[in-house]
Amino acid sequence: MPRQATGSIETHPWKDGRTVTFRARFRAYGRRWRMDFGTNHEGWNAERARVELERITGQVARGTWEPPAPQAPVELDRDETLHVTASVDLLDVAGEWERGRCRRISSTVGGRCSRRSASRARGSPS
């Protein structure tokens, strides 16, 4: 007779100090599995994660649980080089700067003006 299906809930706090990811660790079909459920911002909490883990371990005990299908790899555009990608991002930043949303190109975050620099460009206090 196979071993009783057991598992545990793990939490992973993010560096922002507000977000927590909930995941389960359990054994199934001779292997150890780790499944991420979601974050507290997506409505997950320890109790909800525990209920989901109980559901999964029940399926494992009955032999009806199926592992999640592996995700297909992202199809990359083989013709796009780093130069093309960087140029497109720079054009996005330059467009924001031209429209007066940024005072300096260096005040952008991830290709967009940060809120602080955008509010300064409009003349409002920071």
Give per-residue pLDDT as tens, 20-53: 999 999 999 889 999 999 999 999 999 999 999 9
Domain edges within the chain: 7-62, 82-121
pTM: 0.55
CA distances from 28 to 46, 57, 87 (A): 21, 8, 48
Tokens of residue 83, six digits: 């130069």
Tokens of residue 48, six digits: 């909800």
Angle (CA) 55-61-65 rounded to 5° is 60
Q: Give per-residue pLDDT as tens, 55-80.
A: 999 999 999 999 988 888 877 777 77
Task: Please name the helix (run of DSSP H) or strand (run of DSSP E) that holds residue 41, with its range, or none.
Answer: none
Q: Which residues contact 66 (CB under 8 A, 6 or more apart)?
A: none
